[in-house]
A and B are shown apart, each in its own frame.
Chain A
Amino acid sequence: MTETPGFRWFRRITLTFLTVFTVMPLYVLVVTSVKPLEDVRGLFTWLPDRLTFRPYVEMWSTIPLARYLTNSLVVTVTATVLALMIAILAAYPLARLRFRGKRVFSMTVLSTQMFPGILFLLPLFLIFVQLEEILGIQFTGSYTGLIITYLTFALPFSIWMLAGYFQAIPEGLEEAAMIDGTSRIGALFRVILPVARPGILAVGVFAFITAWGEVLFASVLTDTETRTLSIGLKLYTSQVDTLWNQLLAASLTISLPVIVAFILVQRHLVSGLSAGAVK
C-alpha cells in the first residue's frame, strides 16, 4: 500500500502515544521493584537513588509466595489443558457435523458470555457445598472447584474460536483420510489437529490468561492453603502499610513467564485469529 505523508504522520503520532501509554506503567513497575522501601515511600522518583535487588529476595519470605505461585500454576495449567481438550471435542461437531440441537447448543454456550459473574458467584458456591455433602469430594477450598470453574469460563470463547478455525480447514483433508479407512475421530486427531495447531495455541493462551488473572471466584473458592496469586498478593498490604517494592517485584516475577509465553506465541495468535474466528 502506498503511503502518503499524512498517513506517515498519523502513524508516527499514534505509535508514539501508544508506546508512551503502554511503557509508562511498565517502567514504574520495574523501577519501583529495585528501590529500597524508604525510597518508595516518599515522592516518586524517576530513577532509583539507591539500586537494590533485596525486594526480589524478601518477597518470598514476607508471604508464602511460592505456594501461591504453585497453586496458580496447578489450577491454571490443569484448567487450560482440560478446557482445550473439551473445547476441541465440542467444536468439531459444530464445525463439521449436522445434528439436532446444534443451534441451541451453540447459542446457549455463547450466551453464557453475557452472564454477569456476580449473578452466579453465590449460587455456584452453594451448589459446590451441596455437592460436597452428596459426593464427598471437596470443591470449595480445594483445587477442584476452581479448576472446574475456570475451565468452564474458558469454554465458550474456545469452542467458538476453534469451530471457526476448523471450518476454515478444507474438508478434503479429512475426506481423504476417511476414504483411507480412518474414523472421524481418527481424522480429527491425525489430520485436523496438526493443521489447526496455531489456532489451538491461540485458544490455549486465551484460556490461560483468563484463568491466571481471575479474582472474583478465587476470593470465594480458595482458602489459606489453596489461595492463588490474585488473592495472595494482597497480603503485601498490612493495615498500616503496603510493601510496594516487594509487591511490584512479585508482580513482575509472576508476570514474566506469562508475557514471555505470550510473546512466543503471538505470531501464531494473529495468524490463528485471522484464519479462524474473526473473518
Chain B
Amino acid sequence: MSTTEEPRHRAAQEATEPAGPESGAESGARKRRPRRSFLPYGMILPAAALELLIHIVPMILGIYIAFTSLTQLTIRNWTSAPFVGLENFVQGLDPGGALGSDLFQSLFRTTVYTALVVGLSWALGMAAAVSLNTRFRGRGVLRTLFLVPYALPVYVAAIIWAFMFNQRDGMINRLLVQDLGLVDDRPFWLIGENAFWVLVIVSVWRLWPFAFLMLLAALQSIPEDMYEAAAIDGASTWKRFTRITLPMVRSANAVVLLVMGLWTFNEFNIPFLLFGDTSPDSARLISPFIYEHSFVNWNFGLGAAMSVLLLIALIIASAVYVRLVLPKGRGND
C-alpha cells in the first residue's frame, strides 16, 4: 500500500518542476523561519489523534480480543474475559473442523467474488471512460447518468435490487419469464445458488462508476497530441489504446484496482442489505461470515480471530500486488 503513492509523487513533481521543488522550498523556509519545525506536527496532530482513537487502538484491542474467549456472557466485564492463547485461531483455521472449512470456503468465495466484481467494474469503467473521452452529442448527459449509481446511497441501491430480484414476481422474473421467455419457471434469486450472482451484479452496478470516474480523470490528463502523433503514424485504434492509453493510466489503474479490490474483499453492506443477518451459503462473503459469528452467535473472541486472519490475508495480498504491479514505484525515494 505504501508504495502506491510514489508514482503519484513522481508524477506530481514532474508536473510542477523536475528539479525537486520540495527540497528547495524546505530549505528556503528553514532559512527564513527556524521555529517552523513544530508546524508540521501541529498540523497533522488532529488527524493523527483521530486515526489513533478510531483505527489504531481499536485494531490493537481487536487483536487482543482474538486471544480471549469473549462471549455474550463476559461482554459486560470484557477486560476480565479469560485469555485463551491461540485457541480461537486453531478453531478458526483448522480445515478439518466444520468452522475452519467454512472459513476457507468463504475466503475462496470472496476471492472469486472480488476478482469478478473488480474485473467487470474495471472493464466497464474503462470502456465507458474511453467512449466518453471522445466528442459527441449527449456525452455530458451520459457522464452524469453513469455517476448516479455511485452517488446513490449504497442501501438505496441494495433496496432497489432486492425489490427487483425479490419476490417470485419481481421485475427480473417478469423480464426473463413473461417478456423474453428465456426461463420457463420463475427462479428464486435471493436464496440458493443464484444469490451469488445477484451479489456480483449489484456490486458491479454500484462499483463500476467509481472506476469510470477515476479512469476518465486519468484519461483527460493524457495530452491530445500524443494521439494525434500516433494517428499520423497510422496506428490503429486498438494500438493507440494499448500503446498510449494503458501505459499513460498505469499508475491510476494500479491505485484504482487496489482500492476497489480492498473495498470489495471487505464488502459487508451489500450482502447485509440484500440477505440480512445470515447470507445464503452460496453468497456468504468473509465479512458477513465474521459478523455472523461475532454478533449472531455471540462469539466475539472467535470473530476477532477470524478478522485478524482476514487482515493478515489482505496485507499479504496487497504486498504481493504492490510488488508485482508497481515494480517501478519501488526504491524511488
Q: When the two chains form their complex, are residues B131 and A93 in contact, meaning their CB atoms are under 8 A apart?
A: no
Nearest chain B residue, comparing its CB with the CB of A45: B174
Residues of chain A with a CB closer than 8 A to B216's CB:
270
Q: When the two chains form their complex, are residues A159 and B47 in contact, meaning their CB atoms are under 8 A apart?
A: yes
* Total residues of chain A contacting the partner, CB 8 A: 112
Considering only residues 1-25 of chain A, those with a C-beta below 8 Å from chain B are 1-4, 6-7, 10-11, 14-15, 18-19, 21-25
A109 within 8 A of B: yes
**Looking at the complex, which of B38-46, B188-196, B323-331 is the stretch in contact with chain A?**
B38-46
Residues of chain A with a CB closer than 8 A to B161's CB:
25
Interface of A is mostly: helix
Residues of chain A with a CB closer than 8 A to B275's CB:
none
A136 within 8 A of B: no
What 4 pairs between A and B have smallest CB-CB spacing? A273-B217, A120-B58, A119-B307, A93-B40
A235 within 8 A of B: no
Nearest chain B residue, comparing its CB with the CB of A212: B153
**Looking at the complex, which of A47-55, A56-64, A170-178, A189-197 is the stretch in contact with chain B?**
A170-178
Question: Do A2 and B5 contact each other (CB < 8 Å), given the known contacts A22-B149, A25-B164, A259-B148?
Answer: no
Chain B residues proximal to chain A, CB less than 8 Å? 1-2, 4-5, 8-9, 11-13, 15-17, 21-26, 28-29, 32-33, 36-37, 39-41, 43-44, 46-48, 50-51, 53-59, 61-62, 65, 78, 124, 127-128, 131-132, 134, 136, 142-157, 159-161, 163-164, 169-171, 173-174, 178, 205, 213-214, 216-218, 220-221, 224, 227-228, 231, 236-237, 240, 251-252, 255-256, 259, 262, 266, 268-269, 272-273, 286-287, 290-291, 294, 300, 303-304, 307-308, 310-311, 314-315, 318, 333
Nearest chain B residue, comparing its CB with the CB of A90: B47
Point out the residue from B32, B46, B164, B287 that lies within 8 Å of A116, measured CB to CB: B287
Residues of chain B with a CB closer than 8 A to A75's CB:
none
Interface of B is mostly: helix
Question: Do A167 and B16 contact each other (CB < 8 Å), given the known contacts A21-B205, A215-B273, A251-B156?
Answer: yes
Minimum CB–CB distance from A124 to chain B (whole Å) comes to: 4
Chain A residues proximal to chain B, CB less than 8 Å? 1-4, 6-7, 10-11, 14-15, 18-19, 21-26, 28-29, 32, 42-46, 86-87, 89-90, 92-94, 96-99, 102-103, 105-124, 126-127, 148-149, 151-153, 155-156, 159-160, 164, 167-171, 174-175, 178, 184-185, 209, 212-213, 215-216, 229-230, 233, 244, 247-248, 251-252, 254-255, 258-259, 262-263, 266, 269-279
Question: Do A263 and B144 contact each other (CB < 8 Å), given the known contacts A28-B160, A116-B314, A270-B217?
Answer: yes
Q: When the two chains form their complex, are residues B262 and A114 in contact, meaning their CB atoms are under 8 A apart?
A: yes
Tell me the bound Cα distance from A121 to B4 in angstroms. Answer: 27
Residues of chain A with a CB closer than 8 A to B224's CB:
1
Q: When the two chains form their complex, are residues A255 and B153 in contact, meaning their CB atoms are under 8 A apart?
A: yes
Residues of chain B with a CB closer than 8 A to A216's CB:
268-269, 272
Point out the residue from A113, A122, A279 that lies within 8 Å of B15, measured CB to CB: A279
Point out the residue from A3, A92, A117 that lies within 8 Å of B134, measured CB to CB: A3
Minimum CB–CB distance from A42 to chain B (whole Å) comes to: 6
Q: Indicate the member of A23, A44, A103, A255 with the most B CB atoms within 10 Å.
A: A44
Minimum CB–CB distance from A128 to chain B (whole Å) comes to: 10
Residues of chain B with a CB closer than 8 A to A175's CB:
25, 28
Tell me the bound Cα distance from A248 to B231 in angstroms. Answer: 49
Tell me the bound Cα distance from A258 to B307 in angstroms. Answer: 33
Residues of chain B with a CB closer than 8 A to A114's CB:
1, 262, 311, 314-315, 318
Nearest chain A residue, comparing its CB with the CB of B310: A116
Point out the residue from B17, B39, B148, B259 that lies within 8 Å of A171, measured CB to CB: B17
Tell me the bound Cα distance from A66 to B149 in angstroms. Answer: 24
Q: When the two chains form their complex, are residues B47 and A171 in contact, meaning their CB atoms are under 8 A apart?
A: no
